[in-house]
Structure 1
Amino acid sequence: MGQWLERNIIEPGKLPLLLALAAFVLTFVVTRIITRLIRAGKGPFGNVTAGSVHIHHVVPGVILTVVGGFGAVASGGHGFGPYLSAVLFGVGAGLVLDEFALILHLDDVYWSEAGRKSVEMVVLTAALVVLLLAGFAPFGVNDLSQQELRNRAGALTGVALNFGFALIALSKGKVRLAVFGVIVPVVALVGSLRLARPGSPWAKRFYRRRHRARAKALLRAYHHDRRWSRPARTIQDWLGGKPDRP
């Protein structure tokens, strides 16, 4: 374990990223435990208020993210600074993304159905950071050979193609495939080739008069949602708590 950590994390300079990820995940877990205890009326915890104002934990999260980000820049990559900044940034990001739905809707939707977006964003972010730790580079530059890397035109072409596939996947309503496709090129390619989801910009533009394609897209989306919605909701409820009934 020690040799693997030295060879794959410390030598490539990925220790700050690992610390940030660990702080991010731990902060999310602890925050959800505390908020669920508050919701159940158990334990010594309670909402933080300033007069009549409820101070959401996104507020200290933003402060810690800013401090960690500027601290990392100011440290110049030397000494203990990058590691401390990485931990502060991870804690802040965990607090911010735990209330991502609140920022998106500009409303306290933490325990509502819309609050599931916070859990989705946390899981998505953690998964992307794990891919970065595993050695995947954005836009698939890591898949290019050394000769291609020396050739700027070849590298730029690879980046442009992968970015294009990711944009097509995004326009087809494949948001998760588009995001992961930025890191893993084959995912973006798969997302760009699959049928667009109903209501996506691609479907509205290209399926308007193609009745068969529109029907196939509706049927595939129905079967996909029927197959995966319940397991996804179960995992979200286990991680973040079950939303209140409307």
Structure 2
Amino acid sequence: MYGSWWYRNIVEPGKLPLLLALVAFVVTFVLTRVITRMIRAGKGPFRNVTPGGMHVHHVVPGIVLMVVGGFAVIAGGNQGFGSGFAAVLFGAGTGLVLDEFALVLHLSDVYWTREGTKSVEIVLITMALAALLLAGFSPFGVDGLSSAELHDRLNVTFTVAVNLLFALIALFKGKARMAVLGVLVPFVALFGAVRLARPASPWARRFYRRRPKARARSRKRAYHHDRRWARLRQRVTDLIGGAPTH
């Protein structure tokens, strides 16, 4: 029974490399955070890599693994041991790179600062997207079309265009997480697109400038939303990635 499910849902659709990449990504991220927290606390045998006095961040080997694994996956297709090994390399490299996403974004070592928590958020979003792809979701909601509709290019193009529009509107309204998840789950993008924009978003600056009531509602909703969720979100990121220094 279990073997049949594995073949039907993972091996036969060619999802095994994606599963291996996701597992390698999660394991690498968890191990990296454990090691960096031990280094921060001065415990264990681990130390920063500083050849010649220069601190080599783990984003560097991460980029190398991503490049090697990515090109190997493209060259080898999606079957066989080589493809699986390349997927593991790519997943591990991605885990190392995204663990220091904030450093790349700010071009500064913000790993243990409040800005550094962006790395944890990006990692969690990436995990969610990869899990959705593994579960069978296709970008832009195309997985919801029937076989006949899939052969109709007009329907596919329309579905992709509409969902992409919703995702872009959500992004323009300052709802980046909903926009990203909405690429795979159409109703998430639609929900983000129809709701009020965040007060500091490009949408609010453009369309609420002459609408004081809309601006006031936007600020009020953002205030209540942040009061309700921001502290919980920060506690989760601190629990996963470690509490920032400042």
TM-score (norm 1): 0.98
Give the Å deviation of 1:148: 1.4
1:36 alignment partner AA: R
Give the Å deviation of 1:76: 3.0
Corresponding position of 2:136: 135
2:68 alignment partner AA: V
Corresponding position of 2:227: 226
Corresponding position of 1:185: 186
1:125 alignment partner AA: T
Corresponding position of 1:36: 37
Q: Residues 14-29 of structure 1 correspond to what in structure 2 (within 5 A)?
A: 14-29=15-30
Give the Å deviation of 1:187: 0.7
Structure 2 CA distance, aligned partners of 1:159 and 1:17? 23
Corresponding position of 1:98: 99
> Any idea what SS the aligned residue of 1:64 has?
helix
TM-score (norm 2): 0.98
Give the Å deviation of 1:2: 3.3
Do structure 1's residue 54 and structure 2's residue 55 form an aligned pair?
A: yes
Give me the identity figure in percent: 64
> Any idea what SS the aligned residue of 2:209 has?
coil
1:86 alignment partner AA: A
Structure 2 CA distance, aligned partners of 1:107 and 1:238? 23
Give the Å deviation of 1:78: 4.1
Corresponding position of 1:201: 202
Aligned Cα root-mean-square deviation (Å)? 0.9
Structure 2 CA distance, aligned partners of 1:202 and 1:53? 43
Corresponding position of 2:119: 118
**Deviation sequence 1:61-119 (CA, Å, 0-9, x none):** 00000000011112133431110000000000000000000000000000011000000
> Any idea what SS the aligned residue of 2:196 has?
coil
Structure 1 CA distance, aligned partners of 2:68 and 2:226? 41
Do structure 1's residue 63 and structure 2's residue 64 form an aligned pair?
A: yes
Corresponding position of 1:2: 3
CA pair 37-52 structure 1, distance change in 2 beyond 3 A: same
CA pair 88-47 structure 1, distance change in 2 beyond 3 A: same
Corresponding position of 1:145: 146
| Segment of structure 1 superposing worse, 122-131 or 68-77 | 68-77
> Any idea what SS the aligned residue of 1:112 has?
coil
- Quick check: 2:17–2:78 contact (8 Å CA) kept in 1? no
| Segment of structure 1 superposing worse, 2-11 or 88-97 | 2-11
2:126 alignment partner AA: T
Structure 2 CA distance, aligned partners of 1:189 and 1:77? 33
Structure 1 CA distance, aligned partners of 2:165 and 2:51? 48
Q: Residues 160-171 of structure 1 correspond to what in structure 2 (within 5 A)?
A: 160-171=161-172
Structure 1 CA distance, aligned partners of 2:4 and 2:35? 36
**Deviation sequence 1:36-76 (CA, Å, 0-9, x none):** 00000000000001101100000000000000001111213
Give the Å deviation of 1:4: 2.6
1:191 alignment partner AA: G
Q: Residues 229-240 of structure 1 correspond to what in structure 2 (within 5 A)?
A: 229-240=230-241
Unaligned runs of 5+ in 1: none
Structure 2 CA distance, aligned partners of 1:26 and 1:69? 18
Structure 1 CA distance, aligned partners of 2:204 and 2:79? 50
- Quick check: 2:139–2:184 contact (8 Å CA) kept in 1? yes
